[in-house]
Structure 1
Amino acid sequence: MSEGESAFVGNKAQRRVTILLSVFNGQAFLPQMLFSLAEQKGVEWQLLWHDDGSSDQSVQLLKDFASRYPGRVSSGQSSGQKLGIARAYMALLREASVYSPFMAFADQDDVWLPFKLYKAVQALTSITHEKCALYCSRQILVDTSLNYLGLSPEIKKYAPFPFALTHNMATGCTVVFNQSTAKLLAFLPNPPEETFHDWWVFLCVNAVGGIVFADEGADILYRQHARNVVGTTPSFLKRASRAFKRGPQKFIKTLKANVEALLQAEDLLPAPTLSCLYDLQAVLASGRLVRYIGFLRAHFSTFRRQNIVETLVLYLWFIANAFSRQKL
């Protein structure tokens, strides 16, 4: 470890990270995840967990873990209630936002490499605490037994808002963010039903002009198994097939919901973001093809996805909504 890294580690009490974990019947994988959490280097970690109505031994495993690390592990106030993924994480975030300088999302079935949090916090401390900031990274894809499957897709450089409305780059289990971001999210309403917690954080940070650190490295073993709520694949064809199956109506419905949710916090949004959101709101409500095309021309460089094929599909879906008679 370099001299600079040693100094960073020496101040780890000032680099406290509250790990937010929602569990549901996770006993098969939870012990490995908790062990990897305890092995994190260079930071002072805490764990705040929510049980979403498990019927297995998940809660007992977490209580046993807490007994081994007294004062560092606690349950959220709503633990035991069936909230669903996004609401559970947002409830935990609101509790943690008042005392922790950094927060991290965790999934019950992954395994973290020892310097996962260290790398994230090191990136986030490079900017002022007053500005919203988020760190995310790629993942090492593994099967149930942790056998290597490949790497998640590259996190390509992206344009400013409204890119985040069309694509979530920040996979939840890699996400770490600062207290300014947590305070922003605690003030905002819960994400729409169509939107997971990680996309909502990524979207909000972009909407207020915050900073996103997208790490091309990978410091997490991301299990792919039948019970994944959201999985990933390195295959472009499989990703394209999934996107095609979702179809335009689901995309437009989600897009509308995210626009409306963000506009509830219009006082916090900079003028360019507000202008784009109001333009998009008007376009989606009009159903006029000429307005759809006009919006795409005006925001061609930013209203897109990560490659040309996915962007073309996005535009087709967007324009197809102008011809749809079904009210979404």
Structure 2
Amino acid sequence: MTDFIEKNIIVALNSNAPLVAILLCTYNGDRFLAEQLDSLEAQAHQNWMVRASDDGSIDQTLEILQQYQAKWPAGKLTIRSGPQRGFCQNFLSLACDPEIKADYYAFCDQDDVWLPSKLSVALENILLNQEVQKPYVYCGRTQYVNDLLKPCGFSPLFVFPKTFRNALVQSIAGGNTMVFNQAAKNLIEQVGPLEVASHDWWIYQLVTGVEGEVFYDPMPQVLYRQHEYALVGGSNSFSARMDRIWMLLQGRFQKWNTKNINALNQVSHLLVKNHQEILKMFEVLRVARFKDRFRLMGVCGLYRQTRRGTISLYLAALIKKI
């Protein structure tokens, strides 16, 4: 029955353009949600549908979603209950759902604003560069804005190769920038909603691990709102950097790595052989004696995208917090 409904929704959209399923997760987001939904409505690429998963909001979030559901054409927006296990599992519950069918898929946060060209730029990139049977993820830089959408900086510009050796130790792009093809969706579904540090970092690891493609766009297509209620911040301020160093010293980075490694080990049979070996070496590195850690870092070839990031990576290895 669900397949029948989905097919009729696609027909009702009456467009030969690729259909994009926008995977929107919400939780007590009534303050900014309407602006985000308006920015979806303003997309140059109009063949999209929203699949919203609400994780138990107690504010006006559901009412706002229902208002847009009533305003938009039938099937344009559907709403369901999330797993209520945090934002990561909420996003993965959508990405892993085989009943959500489209040509391409885009994660969507509740408090951002998409530029009108967001989907069209992503789709143009994917269509020009993808191999259909190979997982492909478009992601990119963001424009930081405050509560009132006033610009306040950019996310870092990353220029080094987007590889598994990088993905093991760094998440380079927020899920709010990610658009991916059906091959990537199939891979995510096959793996299922594992316990990982974050959905975007996990997808970067998973796709590069099987030698899929990850493209990082240096031109921002998302206004990434920085506010006190944001679950994940992107600020490059001095205080934010100090917070990240403090989290490293407290072992937060180490805990995230442990989660990701445990998940990767569950799907290691899917990784290419070379990446299976790098993963095993990374595990050895984390528990190695002091004199062996830096040698293993070189052998693994792990790297981050900035000099500061690489320094922090070696610091983590030095104090055995990697």
Q: Structure 2 length as normaliser, TM-score?
A: 0.88
Kept in 2: contact 1:90–1:197 (CA 8 A): yes
Alignment of 1:79-228 (within 5 A): 79=81, 81-95=83-97, 99-126=101-128, 127-158=130-161, 160-193=163-196, 195-228=197-230
- Return the alpha-carbon distance in structure 2 between the equivalents of residues 289 and 140 of structure 1: 40
- Return the alpha-carbon distance in structure 1 between the equivalents of residues 147 and 206 of structure 2: 33
Q: CA deviation at 1:62?
A: 0.8
Q: What amino acid is the match of 1:211?
A: E
- Return the alpha-carbon distance in structure 2 between the equivalents of residues 290 and 97 of structure 1: 51
**Counterpart for residue 309 of structure 1:** 308
**Counterpart for residue 38 of structure 2:** 35
List runs of 5+ in structure 2 lacking aligned partners.
Answer: 1-13
Assess, with a 3 A threshold, how the Cα gap between structure 1 residues 252 and 182 changes in structure 2: closer, same or farther: same
Assess, with a 3 A threshold, how the Cα gap between structure 1 residues 125 and 316 changes in structure 2: closer, same or farther: same
- Return the alpha-carbon distance in structure 1 between the equivalents of residues 252 and 68 of structure 2: 40
Assess, with a 3 A threshold, how the Cα gap between structure 1 residues 81 and 213 changes in structure 2: closer, same or farther: closer
Q: Deviations over 1:198-242 (max 9, x none)?
A: 11111111111111111111122111110011111244x445323
**Counterpart for residue 283 of structure 2:** 281
Kept in 2: contact 1:41–1:118 (CA 8 A): yes
Q: Deviations over 1:17-41 (max 9, x none)?
A: 1001111111111111111111111
**Counterpart for residue 320 of structure 1:** 319
- Return the alpha-carbon distance in structure 2 between the equivalents of residues 310 and 26 of structure 1: 32
Of stretches 97-106 and 36-45 in structure 1, the one that deviates more from structure 2 is 97-106
**Counterpart for residue 66 of structure 1:** 69
Kept in 1: contact 2:136–2:214 (CA 8 A): yes
- Return the alpha-carbon distance in structure 1 between the equivalents of residues 145 and 305 of structure 2: 24
Q: CA deviation at 1:250?
A: 2.0
**Counterpart for residue 299 of structure 1:** 300
- Return the alpha-carbon distance in structure 1 between the equivalents of residues 30 and 259 of structure 2: 34
Kept in 1: contact 2:170–2:304 (CA 8 A): yes
| Correspondence 1:261 to 2:263 | yes
Q: CA deviation at 1:13?
A: 3.2
- Return the alpha-carbon distance in structure 2 between the equivalents of residues 244 and 19 of structure 1: 34
Q: CA deviation at 1:291?
A: 3.4
List runs of 5+ in structure 1 lacking aligned partners.
Answer: 1-10
Q: What amino acid is the match of 1:201?
A: I
- Return the alpha-carbon distance in structure 2 between the equivalents of residues 183 and 72 of structure 1: 23
Kept in 2: contact 1:142–1:221 (CA 8 A): yes
* Counterpart secondary structure, 2:21: strand
Kept in 2: contact 1:141–1:221 (CA 8 A): yes
Q: CA deviation at 1:294?
A: 2.6
Q: Structure 1 length as normaliser, TM-score?
A: 0.87
- Return the alpha-carbon distance in structure 2 between the equivalents of residues 227 and 317 of structure 1: 28
* Counterpart secondary structure, 1:240: helix
- Return the alpha-carbon distance in structure 1 between the equivalents of residues 253 and 223 of structure 2: 29
Q: Deviations over 1:265-316 (max 9, x none)?
A: 122110110010111223334x32343233112134xx12122232122112
* Counterpart secondary structure, 2:233: coil
- Return the alpha-carbon distance in structure 2 between the equivalents of residues 234 and 240 of structure 1: 7
- Return the alpha-carbon distance in structure 2 between the equivalents of residues 226 and 98 of structure 1: 32
Q: CA deviation at 1:150?
A: 2.0
